Amino acid sequence: MLTKSPSCLDNYIVFYNGCYDGDKPEPTSGYYIENLEGLTLENVAMISPELLISATQTIKEKMLFAASIVESRLKAILNSRGIKLNTIGKLYGACVVQSAWDLSMPFDKGIRISKKWLNSPQSRIFVDAVRFKSKINGASVIKVKDLLGNVLWQQNTVCIAETEHTVFIKKHFDPDIILVTIDSTSIQPYVYLCDKTTNCTPCDANINLAIDGWNGTGVGTNGYVGVCVRLDCTDKDIICQFLDRLGLTILYQTGAQIAKEWLAPNNRLNIIKTHGIEWAGQMATMWETLSNEHLNNEIDNIIQILETDKFCYRCEPRLRMYPMLPG
């Protein structure tokens, strides 16, 4: 299922007559919910739960749920076609502690980890653990940040003088470049050498990661932490790669979810005044079927796009078959 609500789905399908803060957004998919016959602002508003306040919010919730269903089906089909979506890379230890240390300074120092010119949307940097050492006792904070300074992960720590510590992170990070740092305000961090001789242990020309020292403002060979890291392939938010091909698939699935709301025993809609239970049942089935048909029609195109990612999806013989999806 989708992890949270990826930004790629913002305004993917919207109400033409919906209520929005500011200007009405253009749907990034090219589709309005009114493209589905029988769905209007008025009747969707009548089945909107009170907590969602408006039909506009109901459409957003149903669209996100529909996208989750489509993504789950997409993964099932790709797995049945022999494409491994989740693989674990080789774990490397990078940067070696030296005998020199720096004075306390109000900076976050550490290392920069980046993909080496790698075009691989589904690869993620996995930080297993970080090592650090201080000349003096002191409290500090270990952080993982993006290049804009946004903190992606952090943990308070206490350094014991002349002792190398290890903190386990064990987390994937989405950005192609991340900083792993230690706050040097109250400690005197030892230097970690991050040149070519210590960039990976064991060294491998196919590591696909560049690891450099970070002094708080730029890169160099001197880092201030060591790290165990690898590059994995994941299926996280894989639907974002193919939204330009899945517009109708998600639109019809959104319609199916709304129609099912008509059939719910606790809905607030006056069914007699609109289309009736029979109509809702027919449309839920039809839209579900159309969603599956459009998804199956796009699978070969999606596989071709995936296989341009030479790191995660190397060209191998694949089992070509379709799963049996419900009608």
Report how far Cα 35 is from the mean position of its chain's Cα atoms.
29
Alpha helix (H) residue ranges in the chain? 41-46, 55-80, 247-263, 276-306
Residue 81 in domain: yes
Instruction: Give the model's confidence band at 47: pLDDT under 50 very low, under 70 low, under 90 confident, else very high.
Output: low
Give me the domain span that covers residue 220.
Answer: 92-233
Terminal Cα distance for the chain, rounded: 21
**Does the structure show a pLDDT above 60 at 70?**
yes
Dihedral angle sign, alpha carbons of residues 241, 247, 249, 253: positive
Report the CATH number at residue 147.
Answer: 2.60.120.820
Domain shared by 160 and 228, yes or no: yes
- Asked if 167 contacts 155 with a C-beta cutoff of 8 angstroms, the reply is yes
Domain boundary among 210, 233, 256: 233
Predicted TM-score (pTM) of the model is 0.80
Tell me, yes or no, whether 196 lies in a domain: yes
Verify that 215 and 271 share a domain, yes or no.
no
| Last residue within a domain, chosen from 217, 233, 249 | 233
Whether 11 and 64 map to the same domain: the answer is yes
Q: Is residue 258 part of a domain?
A: yes
Task: Please report the sign of the dihedral spanned by the C-alpha atoms of residue 96, residue 97, residue 99, residue 105.
Answer: positive
The reply to whether 68 and 100 lie within a common domain is: no
Domain match, 226 and 246 both = no
Q: Where residue 50 falls among pLDDT bands split at 50, 70, 90?
A: low
Q: Are 64 and 2 in contact (CB under 8 A)?
A: yes
CB-based burial, 305-321: b 16+ in 10 Å, e otherwise: ebeebebbbeeeeeeee
Residue 203 sits in the same domain as residue 292: no
Residue 84 tokens read as 């491994």
Residues 171 and 276 in one domain: no
CA distance 104 to 158: 15
**pLDDT tens per residue across span 163-193:** 999 999 999 999 999 999 999 999 999 999 9
Q: Per-residue pLDDT for 97 more than 90?
A: yes
Cα gap 98→96, rounded to integer Å: 6
User: Is residue 180 domain-shared with residue 257, that is, in the same domain?
Assistant: no
Q: Give the span between the Cα atoms of 24 and 9, in whole angstroms.
A: 16
Q: What is the pLDDT of residue 46?
A: 67
Could you give the number of structural domains in the chain?
Answer: 2
The pLDDT assigned to 315 comes to 46
Residues 162, 256: one domain? no
Higher per-residue pLDDT: 51 or 22: 22
pLDDT at 264 over 70: no
